[in-house]
Amino acid sequence: MNPRAVIDVGSHSVLLLVAEETEKGLRVLLEDYRISALGTGLGQTGLIDPEATARTKRIIVQYLERCRDLGAKRILPVGTSALREADNREQVLLELSQSAGQPIRVLSRREEAGLTRRGALSGLRAGDDALVVDLGGRSTEMTWPGFSRSIPIGCQRGTEDILATDPPTDTEMAELRDRVRSHLPAPPNAGALVFSGGTATTLASMDLTRPAMTRSTDKRRVYRQDLVHGHRMSPARLDDLIQMLSSVPLAKRKDLAGIEPERAGVLVAGSIIWDELCRWCRRESFLVSARGLTWGVWLAHSA
């Protein structure tokens, strides 16, 4: 068989998927993600920071080594919001492409939304009419049949632009909610609501480990993709998690079970955005997908 890999260079994290097609179906060899915070400070300066670029380059090089170890000769690197928006995107893209050994393809918002939808719905019984929401670092992509929408608000952008206090104040959280609502169109006539992205999988992991309030010594023992993918949550439970997350400072938030420490800093903003989208859709429950853009790109380029 011929393993293929996808590297997704996002605004907050870099994801890797290595998989191959077998006679029994798709076989995943490796999935990984690393926090790079490529888009840190982008909203204030319009620029991607050299340190963030260096972190991302190191992650890409490490991923290439893993790909070689697994025999993946075809590697598809893609980029999203930060690489679309930064004033110095051409220079950063050149540096990252050199590290990848090939050009990184920067996806348009429409491409990103469509591929994320394809990946998020794979392996789920959500129906073709599902509304898929992928919350990223600097933007949120929403797709349902015949329509897609991208709003310029994500967990990293919301944290840097609005939630300046640790822990955030009620006023800041209300401002973030207002910002999200200002970008939302009329709610679609869609089926099931499906959330994907790091905020979604982290909150699902927290829900699955409740009522634990202390961190496991091994985050891999906490995060179970087989349980997270397709996990159903209620808005009431999401409200409980927001209250928990926003009531403690970052140092304590990092120690909560189910949370990757590097993601703790943007998790309050992400959960508030998620909550506003739930209110917008008026759903009694929603599904979490542990899959997303990397899966969509891989499936779209299957041979």
Lowest average pLDDT, out of 111-125, 128-142, 182-196, 222-236, goes to 222-236
Helices 264-281 and 198-209: angle between axes, nearest 10 degrees: 90
Nearest to 273 by CA among 93, 165, 166, 137: 137
Indicate the pLDDT class of residue 55, thresholds 50, 70 and 90: very high
Q: Is residue 298 part of a domain?
A: no
Token reading at 102: 């090939």
pLDDT of residue 120: 95
The span from the CA of 189 to the CA of 238, in Å, is 23
What whole-number distance in Å separates Cα of residue 292 and Cα of residue 257? 23
C-alpha pair distances (Å), 14 with each of 52, 134, 148, 294: 12, 15, 24, 10
pLDDT band at 52 (very low <50, low <70, confident <90, very high): very high
Structure confidence at residue 49 (pLDDT): 94
The pLDDT of residue 135 is above 90:
yes
* pLDDT score for 214: 46
State pLDDT tens for residues 200-250: 999 999 998 865 444 444 443 455 778 899 999 999 999 999 999 999 999
CA distances for 277 relative to 5, 148, 159, 249, 295, angstroms:
32, 15, 17, 25, 23
* 135 and 75 together in one domain: no
In a domain, 255, yes or no: yes
Distance CA 301, CA 196 (A): 21
pLDDT above 50 for 281: yes
Judge whether 99 and 279 are in contact, CB under 8 Å: no
Domain CATH for 28: 3.30.420.40
Q: What DSSP character marks residue 168?
A: P
| CB 231 within 8 Å of CB 288 | yes
Chain-wide mean pLDDT for the chain? 91
Residue 161: inside a domain, yes or no? yes
* Domain termination residue (choose one: 74, 106, 138): 106
Cβ pair 125, 86 in contact under 8 A: no
pLDDT tens across 63-93, in order? 999 999 999 989 999 999 899 999 999 999 9
Give strand pairing partners of 77.
7
Does any domain span residue 209?
yes
Same domain, 134 and 261: yes
16 within 8 A of 66, measured Cβ to Cβ: yes
pLDDT for res 217: 45
Q: Choose among 70, 278, 232: nearest CA to 270.
A: 278
Spatial separation of the C-alpha atoms in residues 269 and 20, rounded to whole Å:
36
The pLDDT score that the predictor gives to residue 149 is 87
| Domain final position from 106, 137, 156 | 106
Residue 190 has pLDDT above 80, yes or no: yes
Q: Residues 10-14: what's their mean pLDDT?
A: 92
Reported as a pLDDT band with limits 50, 70 and 90, residue 44 is confident
pLDDT band with cut points at 50, 70 and 90 for residue 58: very high
Beta-bridged to residue 289, according to DSSP, are 196
Q: What range defines the domain where residue 236 resides?
A: 124-289
**Cα angle 111-115-118, degrees, rounded to a multiple of 5:** 150
pLDDT classification of 272: cutoffs 50, 70, 90: very high
The whole-number average pLDDT for the span 1-10 is 92
- Reported as type and span, the H/E element at residue 109 is helix 109-121
The total number of structural domains that make up the chain: 2
Percent of the chain at pLDDT > 90 equals 72
pLDDT of residue 196 exceeding 60, the answer is yes
- Could you tell me the CATH number of the domain that includes residue 165? 3.30.420.150
Residue 19, pLDDT score = 95
Nearest to 84 by CA among 146, 11, 156, 155: 11
pLDDT in the model for residue 303: 54
Tokens of 98: 């050199």
Q: Quick one: how far is CA 38 from the chain centroid?
A: 13
**CA-to-CA distance for 48 and 13, rounded, in angstroms?**
14
94-119: average pLDDT: 94
